[in-house]
Structure 1
Amino acid sequence: MKETIELAERVKHLPPYLFDKIDKLKKQARAKGVDLIDLSIGDPDIPTPVHIVEALKDAAPKPQHHRYPSYEGMLAYREAVANWYSRRFSVMLDPGTEVLSLIGSKEGIGHLPLAYVNPGDVVLCPSPGYPVYSIGTMFAGGEPYFMPLLETNGYFPDLSAIAADVLKRTKLMFLNYPNNPTSALCTVEQFKAAIELAHKYNFIICHDAAYTEMYYNGKKPMSFLEIDGAKDIGVELHSLSKTYNMTGWRIGFAVGNPDIIFGLGKIKTNLDSGVFQAVQEAAIAALDTDEAALAPLRDTYRARRDALYNGLKSIGIDAMKPEATFYMWTKVPKGYNSESFAVHLLENAGISATPGNGFGAAGEGYIRFALTVGVERMKEAVERMRKII
């Protein structure tokens, strides 16, 4: 009998990755011939803008891009990031020391704990929240401490509820606004409170800002780095995935405190070899895109949001109307929990959605819909739900 090679302990104790599990359920449904309406994963269905694709085409044949890229990212790319931050947030960054390229922001989230978290250190993670916050913590040997995001506190952590002995062991806090999965926004006062706490207990704040450019009410979400004192203790991660429909391109960036950026860079130089420079050139074209050119994309998601929100309301489902992101955080109907309602939708309506408890215990009782199908398809999803609820 062939001997079994055991997994490492750090892998054995990992929960199943949420989106991997959802993918398997979707494949099973499609194999049965189900006409699936996929509202589960935040993967834009709209193609990358043509001018960005053309920039890649122009850059790909250049021989200098066929060698190893620089670990920290091309200086031209980091300058484009710094220029974008200056235009968008009036935040000044040194492209040489305060900007680092990432293979998508997920990679930065996963690697940051490896740079700063020792076994036994605490990492404050939002719940519900992106699973990689806690998974990256566990890989580093740290202890995730889950901060509940509740409707009663505006989906921001109740910082006063975190015990002093936990805060004394804290090395890192993850925040994410506009928030996935709840779509909540963050106020200046809330950011200030987190920054004051980080200064008091000497821990890092990592703000995941992947959704700042997806907003609907004309009020632009802010950068964490706009707040006084933020750069002293924190970094902000961004992705081009959602803003420019570039999920498959795998490019993002980390900005902020130069010492923290340096530590993250130390991990990256040992574990990856950077981003293909032709992709970086395309990303420069994306970051140089006129702000007005993004308005039609926001209009598209606004129409989808309204179709789904109005439809859910018409059948008695309580949803939060998002002012940002392309997610809708929705209470499950009576008689269901998060997982049973997700299974009910999949098996009886051919609709794939994400159970809220997959984002953490505080997500129980909710389900997340992604606005990643067209308006007519969204209306069809509502009509399918109407027949089974």
Structure 2
Amino acid sequence: MSQEFHRIKRLPPYVFAEVNALKSTARAAGQDIIDFGMGNPDQPPPKHVIDKLVETLGDPRVHRYSTSRGIPGLRRALCRYYGERFDVDLDPEREVIVTLGSKEGLANLAQAITSPGDIILAPNPSYPIHAFGFIIAGAAIRSIPMGPEFDFLEQLERAVRHSVPRPSALVLNYPSNPTAEVVDLDFYGAVVDFCRDHGIYVISDLAYAEVYFDEQPPPSILQVPGARDIAVEFTSLSKTYSMPGWRIGFCVGNPDLVAALGRVKSYLDYGAFTPIQVAATAALNGPQDCVEEMRQRYRSRRDVLVSGLAAAGWPIPSPPATMFCWAPLPEALREMGSLEFSKLLLQEAQVAVAPGIGFGEYGEGFVRLGLVENEQRTRQAVRNIKSFLRSSGIGPEDAKVRNIAS
């Protein structure tokens, strides 16, 4: 029996699947693929976190069902983090909930607050769940173009003015995946003022709060006075402590939105495995030198990749934050588009990247490179890309490539 399911029909083909299929085929054929395609940390979590997990596993009581909202100690640890990092005082009972990673939290919040036909404002390009979590829930998405050529607040005002019905929520993500763009507290203040005036909730994704390379750390929207009247924020331990497979994240802020998420989650899960939550508590409460080591590791990889590609004839911007470089295609190859360029780079240079079109229409013309390979592998990738560019008639002296930086 052939059946077209309504919600599935609203999801386009997964762009990244084409590159992933080619990557799997190449590896099956014995090729050494250097994979910059996924933001998947290559280092283990800190030793004291793993030790706490192992220790907790020995307690026979922890193997029962956990609690969907998260164990109290982990919620209190997250409150402590927000107090020390952002000077934001959270109530662990009403304003904090533990999620199975930010992705699950965003999708379940979308189910909790979205009615069919609601309009949600989402950045474009953006991490796919920011738009598609709400599309799955039945919403219509109005994109807010992102990039240096756009004034975000101007685009936001325009989107609200031309939307019927009025948008119910705005999704933000800074530092941004995929563009690595950062904003300051004044930006958040302007967004909060605008959205409060128009009755729009704000959902902030702060997953890369600790992956920054400038002296000034990224702020939280909850630092804005009154932000909790309309805003929640998602954070994650995945990148900060190299714990992506552990699936531990948080939603904090507006108590009504937190409660709505908790109501949906109570029907869907019993929370993360208790030993993982205990170990996550140890990550937040324990020594934080591992976080600075993480930043130094990604900074060093960033510098190797950016300087190496510039020398190879492909200058790309140096990201101020996140574990990604957002790279415009070499001008001589721009017409082929980001998906075909990504496939060609995989086939000819054995380097996997994420095509920008997978992050939305305004991502076309770019690829995202993850800083997830060590420096030696990164240098090898640069050599492979340099050979590929030369075979395509592009080199360090190519005028078209140099124009990208201008």
Q: Is the 8 A contact 1:124 1:173 kept in 2?
A: yes
- What is aligned with 1:355? 355
Q: How many Å separate the matches in 2 of 1:93 and 1:240? A: 18
Query: Is contact 1:150–1:156 with CA below 8 Å preserved after alignment?
Result: no
What corresponds to 1:280 in structure 2?
277
Q: 2:158 aligns with which of 152, 156, 161?
A: 161
**Closer/same/farther in 2, CA of residues 216 and 167 from structure 1, 3 Å limit:** farther
CA distance in 2 between counterparts of 1:307 and 1:346 reads 20
Between the aligned partners of 2:280 and 2:153, the Cα distance in structure 1 is 32
Matched, 1:77 2:62: no
The equivalent of 2:393 in structure 1 is none
1:10-25 aligned at under 5 Å gives the runs 10-25=7-22
CA RMSD of aligned residues (A): 1.6
Q: Do 1:40 and 1:369's aligned partners in 2 also have CA atoms closer than 8 Å?
A: yes
Q: TM-score, normalised by structure 1?
A: 0.96
Which residue pairs with 1:141 in the alignment? 138
- Of 107, 112, 116 in structure 2, the residue corresponding to residue 115 of structure 1 is 112
Sequence identity, in percent? 38
- Gap change, CA 1:167 and 1:383, over 3 Å in 2: farther
1: CA distance between counterparts of 2:369 and 2:220? 25
Distance 1:165 1:116 in 2: 22
User: Offset of 1:160 from its aligned partner?
Assistant: 3.0
Q: Distance between the aligned counterparts of 2:346 and 2:58, measured in 1?
A: 45
Q: Which moved more, 1:244-253 or 1:328-337?
A: 328-337
CA 1:91–1:185 in 2, change beyond 3 Å: closer, same or farther?
Answer: same
* Counterpart position of 2:300: 303
Distance verdict in 2 for CA 1:155–1:246, change over 3 Å: farther
Secondary structure of the residue aligned to 1:200 is helix
CA–CA distance in 1 between the matches of 2:44 and 2:63?
25
> Match for 1:370: what amino acid?
G
Mapped contact 1:167–1:201 kept (Cα < 8 A): no
Structure 1 runs (4+) greater than 6 angstroms displaced: 154-157
Shift of 1:63: 2.4
Letter in 1 for 2:59: K
The alpha-carbon distance between structure 1 residues 21 and 234, as it changes in their structure 2 partners (threshold 3 A), is farther
- Asked if 1:226 corresponds to 2:223, the answer is yes
CA distance in 2, matches of 1:223, 1:17: 31
8 A contact 2:241–2:290 mirrored in 1? no
Match of 1:240 among 232, 237, 256: 237
Q: Secondary structure at the match of 1:152?
A: coil
Structure 1 match to 2:41? 44
2-side partners of 1:124 and 1:255: how far apart?
20
1:177-216 matched pairs, under 5 angstroms = 177-216=174-213
Q: Distance in 2 between matches of 1:126 and 1:353?
A: 21
1:358 to partner: Cα distance: 0.6
Task: Check whether the contact 2:160–2:166 (CA below 8 A) recurs between aligned residues.
Answer: no
Deviations 1:131-168 (A, max 9, x none): 11121111111001111102223777732332424175
Give the aligned residue type for 2:367: I
- Matched to 1:206, the amino acid is I
CA distance in 2, matches of 1:42, 1:141: 28
Stretch of structure 1 that moved more, 66-75 or 23-32: 23-32
Rate the CA distance shift 1:362–1:106 in 2: closer, same or farther, 3 A: same
Runs (5+) with no aligned partner, structure 2 = 390-406
Q: 1:40 to 1:191 in 2, by over 3 A?
A: same
TM-score normalised to structure 2 length: 0.92
**Unmatched 5+ residue regions in structure 1?**
none
- SS at the partner of 2:214? coil
Equivalent position SS for 1:151: coil
**Secondary structure, aligned partner of 1:386:** helix
> What are the Cα deviations for residues 306-343 of structure 1, in whole angstroms up to 9, with x where unaligned?
00000111123231211110100000012332112111
- How many residues are treated as equivalent by the alignment? 386
